[in-house]
Amino acid sequence: MKKLQFSKICKNFGAVVANDNISLSLGEGEILSLLGENGAGKTTLMNILFGHYISDKGFIEVEGKRLTPGSTKASLDAGIGMVHQHFTLAENLTVLENIILGTEPLSRLWSKKKLAYKKLEALSKRFGLLINPDAKVADLTVGEKQRVEIIKALYRDASILILDEPTAVLTPQETIQLFKVLKEMVNAGLSIMFISHKLNEILEISDRIVVLRHGKLVGEVATKKANKELLAEMMVGHKVTRPAYEKLEIGKAVVELNNVCLNASDGSLGLSNINLKIHEKEIIGLAGVSGNGQFGLASILQGLTHPSSGEFKLFGQSLIKYDPRYLTKSGVARIPEDRSKEGVIGEMALWENFLGEELRSKAKSGFIIDKKKAVNNAEKLIKEYDIRCEGAFASTRLLSGGNIQKLILARSLSNNPRFIIANKPARGLDEGAISFVQHQIINAKTKGAGVLLISEDLDEIFELSDRIAVIFDGKLQGPFDASSLTINQVGLMMSGEMKEGSFNEA
C-alpha cells in the first residue's frame, strides 16, 4: 500500500527549476532513502510536503487522500512528522514540556500532563526510546535530544516520519541504537523517509533508494541491488573517486600545544591541558561529538582566542600575537565550520570574497584595492576549482553550499599554506563535492602542509588521517596511529566511555 505519493511535482524559483516533474512513493512499513547533491531539490520537495511551499504543478496524496497545499497543519494532521538535522527543542524546558508544547491551547496545556506522561511512557516502551520525562533538555546528550525529537513526532500520532541527516551528530553507538529504533518503527507499520549523505548508512538501513539530480528524479534502486559506487555515480552523473590514502615521511612540527587551557565562556566548553603536535605532511583527525571543545580549540589555532594558560608554538616559535591576520600572513589557512556565516559574506561578489583574509597583502597601498588584479585572480581560481557560478561579479549568496566550500578552499589553499585548520570541511556536501574537498586536502598535505581535520564523520576521519585524536568534555585523548584504532573504539572515546590509557599514543 502507498502511504505517501508525490505526483508530477514541479516548483520553479524564477529561472531556477528546483523540482521538475517528480513522482515518487513511500510504502507502508518501508524505509525509503532520498539521495541527491546539494541543490538537487530534496529540501524543496520536503518544504512542499510540509506546506512551507506550494508546488507550481502536481499534488501529494497521503493514504490516497490529497494533501491540502501550503498548510503545515494539514500535513501534521495527515500524520507527517519530521526530525530536522538541527533540533528544534526548548533547552530550558523538560522533555515532557517540549513534547506536549503545541499540542494543546496554552490555557489547558499543563492540565494534560498526567495523560501525556502515560502516552509518553507507552511510546518509550513500544519503540525503545527510553528517556526521563522530567529531565531538562539542556542536560541531555545529543542522542537523547534526537530521541525527544522522534518521540515528539510520534506523540502527534505521526505515521510517516521524515529524518533529515539524522546521524550527523551521533556517535557510532548512538547510530546503531537509532537504527534499532527505526526498524522497530517500520515493524509497527510506520513509514520512514531517510535523507542522508552517508552512503554506508543508507545501504544499511533502507529498503529502497531514490536519487534526485538537478531537480529531476534520475534513478530508483532496491537497496539490495545497490552499492556505494553506483549511488555516487547516480548522484553526480559520473564516476566518483575518493582520494587514496598515502603515508608520507613527516617533517618539522608546524603546530605544538603544550598544556593549553581555555576558560569556558559564552556557553562554549573550556579546554583542559591540551597537548598536541602536528607535523608537515601529516593529517591529524580530531573526532568528537559537537560541543566538546572543538570550537575553543579551533578559535585558538585561528588566533581568535588567547588560551588562559599553556603554550602555542607555531612553526617552532612561541606565539605571542593572537591575531588572525598575523597567522594568515604566517602561512595558516582555515576552512571554517560554518561556511556561510564564517567563511564568506553572502552579499559580496565572489572576487571580493576571494580577497577575504588577505585584504592588506592584496592592496597596492593601505586599503586601496587593485580591482583588476583581484578580478583576474578570482576568474583564474573559479576555473581552477570548478566553482559553478556566473563569474567573479556574481553574488556569493547565490552559490550552493558545495560551491561556497570550493571558494573557501581556493582562497585558503591557493597560497600553499603551511598549516590548515579544516573544520568539518565536507559537512552537508554531496559525493562529488566531498571527493573534490578531500582531494584538495590530500594535495595540500603532499605539498608539505600539516592539517588538523575536525570532523564528526568518522568515515572521513579514517579515510584521510595519519593519526586520530578524540576530544570529550574539553579533554584530548591521543593522537593515536589511525591504523591502530577501530571506529567502535573512537566512538566509545567520543562518548566518554573509554578513557585515557586504554591505548598507546602514537
pLDDT in tens, 283-321: 999 998 877 888 889 888 988 888 889 999 999 888 887
Residue 387: name the closest of 419, 344, 423 by CA. 344
Residue 240 pLDDT > 80: no
Residue 491 pLDDT > 90: no
Residue 314: name the closest of 351, 348, 280, 352 by CA. 280
Q: What is the pLDDT of residue 367?
A: 57
Average pLDDT over residues 419-431: 82
Q: What is the pLDDT of residue 6?
A: 93
Confidence of residue 111 (pLDDT cuts 50, 70, 90): low
Average pLDDT over residues 123-149: 80
Distance, CA of 240 to CA of 383 (rounded, Å): 20
Read off the amino acid at residue 127.
Answer: F
Domain boundaries, the chain: 2-236, 241-331+415-506, 343-411
Q: What is the pLDDT of residue 57?
A: 93
Confidence of residue 500 (pLDDT cuts 50, 70, 90): low
Contact 402, 409 (CB under 8 A): no
Contact 453, 464 (CB under 8 A): yes
Distance, CA of 79 to CA of 67 (rounded, Å): 11
Residue 421: name the closest of 329, 286, 306 by CA. 286
Average pLDDT over residues 132-137: 84
Residue 104 pLDDT > 70: no
Residue 268 pLDDT > 70: no
Q: What is the pLDDT of residue 173?
A: 76
Residue 223 pLDDT > 80: yes
3-state helix vs strand vs coil in the chain, percent to 5: 40, 25, 35
Q: What is the pLDDT of residue 364?
A: 45
- Give the distance from CA 218 to its chain's centroid: 24
Q: What is the pLDDT of residue 363?
A: 47
Contact 471, 292 (CB under 8 A): yes
Residue 78: name the closest of 49, 99, 112, 48 by CA. 49
Residue 167: name the closest of 191, 124, 200 by CA. 200
Q: What is the pLDDT of residue 32?
A: 94
Residue 280 pLDDT > 90: yes
Confidence of residue 389 (pLDDT cuts 50, 70, 90): confident
Confidence of residue 407 (pLDDT cuts 50, 70, 90): confident
Contact 4, 210 (CB under 8 A): no
Q: What is the pLDDT of residue 61?
A: 92
Q: What is the pLDDT of residue 460?
A: 86
Distance, CA of 43 to CA of 159 (rounded, Å): 20
- Please write the tens of the pLDDT for every residue from 453-474: 998 788 889 989 999 999 988 8
Distance, CA of 386 to CA of 364 (rounded, Å): 28
What would you report as the CA-atom Rg of the chain, rounded to the nearest whole angstrom?
24
- In terms of pLDDT, which residue wins out, 148 or 450? 450
Query: For 2-236, which CATH superfamily applies?
Result: P-loop containing nucleotide triphosphate hydrolases (3.40.50.300)
Distance, CA of 189 to CA of 417 (rounded, Å): 54
Q: What is the pLDDT of residue 503?
A: 53
The 3-state secondary structure of 73-116 reads HHHHHCCEEEECCCCCCCCCCEHHHHHHCCCCCHHHCHHHHHHH
Distance, CA of 17 to CA of 27 (rounded, Å): 27
Q: What is the pLDDT of residue 358?
A: 63
Average pLDDT over residues 365-384: 78
- Please write the tens of the pLDDT for every residue from 154-200: 888 888 988 887 877 677 777 888 888 888 888 888 899 998 877 88
Residue 18 pLDDT > 50: yes
Contact 455, 285 (CB under 8 A): yes
DSSP 8-state symbol, 124: H
- In terms of pLDDT, which residue wins out, 146 or 19? 19
Grid cell of 82 as nine digits: 519530521
- Rounding to the nearest 10 degrees, give the CA dihedral for residues 112, 117, 122, 125: 160
Confidence of residue 136 (pLDDT cuts 50, 70, 90): confident
CATH tag, 241-331+415-506:
3.40.50.300
- In terms of pLDDT, which residue wins out, 5 or 414? 5
For the chain, give the mean pLDDT.
83
Residue 213 pLDDT > 60: yes
Residue 37 pLDDT > 80: no
User: 104 — phi, psi (to 5°)?
Assistant: -140, 155
Most confident listed range (117-131, 218-232, 237-251): 218-232
Domains 2-236 and 241-331+415-506 share a fold: yes
DSSP 8-state symbol, 368: E
